[in-house]
Amino acid sequence: MCYFCNPLQVSGLYYTMRELQFREALREAMQEEMRRDERVFLLGEEVAEYNGAYKVSQGMLAEFGAKRVIDTPIAELGFAGIAVGAAMNGLRPICEFMTFNFSLVAIDQVINSAAKINSMSDGQFTAPMVFRGPTASAGQLGQQHSQAFENWYANTPGLKVIVPSNPADAKGLLKSAIRDDNPVIFMESEQMYGNKGLVPEEEYLIPIGKADVVKQGSDVTLVSFGKMMLRCHTAVEELAKEGIQVELIDLRTVRPIDYDTVIESVKKTNRLVIVEEAWPLASISSELAYMIQRRAFDYLDAPVQRVTTQDTPLPYAPTLVEAFLPTVSKIAEAVKAVSYRG
């Protein structure tokens, strides 16, 4: 179920809506952009013959052929380097990592090549490309397959980093990412691929770097992105029963961050809670908290609260997984801690 998508905010127009899974929305974005621009192609492990590890690219090999939907060896550094070279030479690759945990094998190409080539070449080369795939925890997958690296990549000048929370945003943002002339990190949750939501049939783009005010409220500003938006929405509904009206903001993009939207909300509510599925040290939430106290300190009536994962590797036992992650109850408690109604 899609709780937050409000496609009317995309351009102020009315759209014909239909329900799609998250994976279907991503697939439509890639298909539409590949039909529109023959320079766009997809490469990665199992994206072609197997239709994608999570069936995001299902049917794309049959439509576009093996020259534009390319199965690669299990060699992330190698195929990421091929993608960067292709982008530098005028193509627009979509490079899929089976999980962003595996992107660490290729991180030299992402950070030292794709992110820096425009600066190092004094603008003679660009790397218009998308690195996409699943991020963060997905149940009992172990410590090496359950990590969130949004803040790692967002720390790198030259990259844009997108983490959508619903099918409509996923499609509109991925289309914008594919058309962008900069390298874009596009991170999806494994646990959201089957989620359904309303998506416009007509052509639409969502601008990179613009947050979405999902729900208006007057008491506390609650900010998150990606999969954690689902838990935030549930917490907001429960808090409303207690009379606490939360303003819920989906960042959508964590580089660039839409500070202005958050600041305007804090000026109204005077309170801020940030939820993130990542370790607390040097996180997106710590950066946002710093910027709010720097630019909106006089409007705060309570300290900024953060809800993050525990500062440990992810445990394997299901009870410990839940204890490790931000939960609805933890989010609600943080909101109550800053709310004058709490």
Same domain, 46 and 144: yes
The size of the chain, in residues, is 342
Computed over every residue of the chain, the mean pLDDT equals: 94
87's enclosing H/E stretch is helix 76-88
Task: Give me the residues paired with residue 93 across strands.
Answer: 41
Active site residues: 76, 145
Same domain, 191 and 226: no
* Residue 110 falls inside a structural domain: yes
Residue with tokens 């994976």: 23
Question: What are the tens digits of pLDDT across the range 126-148?
Answer: 999 999 999 988 888 878 888 99
Residue 109 DSSP label: I
Task: Give me the residues paired with residue 184 across strands.
Answer: 130, 160
Instruction: Print the domain residue range for 49.
Output: 20-200
The whole-number pLDDT of residue 12 equals 59
Query: DSSP for 111-134?
Result: IIIITTHHHHTTTS-----EEEEE
The whole-number pLDDT of residue 342 equals 55
Characterize the bridge pairing of strands 17-21 and 196-200: antiparallel
Question: What are the tens digits of pLDDT across the range 2-36?
Answer: 333 444 455 556 788 999 999 999 999 999 999 99
* Range with lowest mean pLDDT among 68-77, 138-147, 169-178, 289-298: 138-147
Give percent of the chain with pLDDT exceeding 90: 89
Characterize the bridge pairing of strands 246-250 and 220-224: parallel
Same domain, 174 and 90: yes
Domain boundary among 148, 174, 200: 200
* Residue 206 falls inside a structural domain: no
Same domain, 185 and 161: yes
* Residue 127 falls inside a structural domain: yes
Q: Please state the domain count of the chain.
A: 2
* Residue 177 falls inside a structural domain: yes
62 vs 142 pLDDT, higher one = 62
Question: What are the tens digits of pLDDT across the range 164-223?
Answer: 999 999 999 999 999 999 999 999 998 999 999 999 999 999 999 999 999 999 999 999
Same domain, 196 and 281: no
Read off the pLDDT of each residue in 80-109 and give the average, rounded to a whole number. Answer: 97
Same domain, 195 and 91: yes
Amino acid occupying residue 179: R
User: CATH number, domain at 324?
Assistant: 3.40.50.920
Closest among 276, 21, 308 to 170, alpha carbons compared: 21
